[in-house]
Amino acid sequence: MDLVIRAAVVFGFVFLLTRITGRRELSQLEPFDVILLVVVGDLVQQGVTQSDYSVTGALIVISTIGVLSVFVSWISYRFKPVRRATEGEPVVLVHDGRPIERNMRRERITVEDIEEEARQKQIVSIADLRWAILENDGRISCISR
């Protein structure tokens, strides 16, 4: 039972950490970030299983995390308020060519980030955007005028 409780606590912490980190950061991982994620994964494993190297312990931990993932997914599907908390909502960054500074600051996105996404869609400047929206997966959708 100890393994189940530790796995559930770590699952909740990792889930919270990914929500706090922000969508944009997770969608654009640099090589260092990938290495950091591997290290965090190893640290999580050590914290969950401690010195239990048994196959049974590993199966219990993997099963607990799998069940919790399915549970969170099901709850998110079933209840819209929970879905907003677990998946987030799209955030408008630019409306009719004007950046919305408050939203950009909250999501830690610069004008340069938006300009880069717009250029990739052959949109010359922010003034030419009707909408720029930060999607749930961290991508920025740009809609021209």
pLDDT at 2 over 70: yes
User: What domains sit in the chain, N to C, each tagged with a CATH number?
Assistant: 2-87 (no CATH), 91-144 (3.30.240.20)
Distance CA 68, CA 72 (A): 6
Number of H helices, E strands in the chain: 7, 4
Q: How far is CA 107 from the centre of its chain?
A: 12
Q: Rounded to the nearest 10 degrees, what angle do helices 55-78 and 2-21 cross at?
A: 50
Higher pLDDT, 130 or 26: 130
First and final CA of the chain: distance in angstroms? Answer: 58
Contact 68, 15 (CB under 8 A): no
Amino acid at residue number 25: E
pLDDT at 129 over 90: yes
Looking at residue 11, its pLDDT comes to 84
CA atoms in the 13 A half-sphere facing the CB of 143: 11
Task: Convert the pLDDT of each residue in 75-124 to its tens digit.
Answer: 988 998 888 888 888 999 999 999 999 999 988 899 999 999 999 999 98
Looking at residue 25, its pLDDT comes to 57
Token pair 């909250």 is found at 106
If we measure between CA atoms, which residue out of 91, 121, 97, 122 comes closest to residue 111? 97
Task: Convert the pLDDT of each residue in 26-72 to its tens digit.
Answer: 556 666 666 767 777 777 777 777 777 777 877 888 888 888 888 88
Looking at residue 27, its pLDDT comes to 59
If we measure between CA atoms, which residue out of 141, 124, 52 comes closest to residue 90? 141
Task: Convert the pLDDT of each residue in 89-100 to its tens digit.
Answer: 899 999 999 999
Looking at residue 45, its pLDDT comes to 76
User: In this structure, what DSSP letter does residue 128 have?
Assistant: G
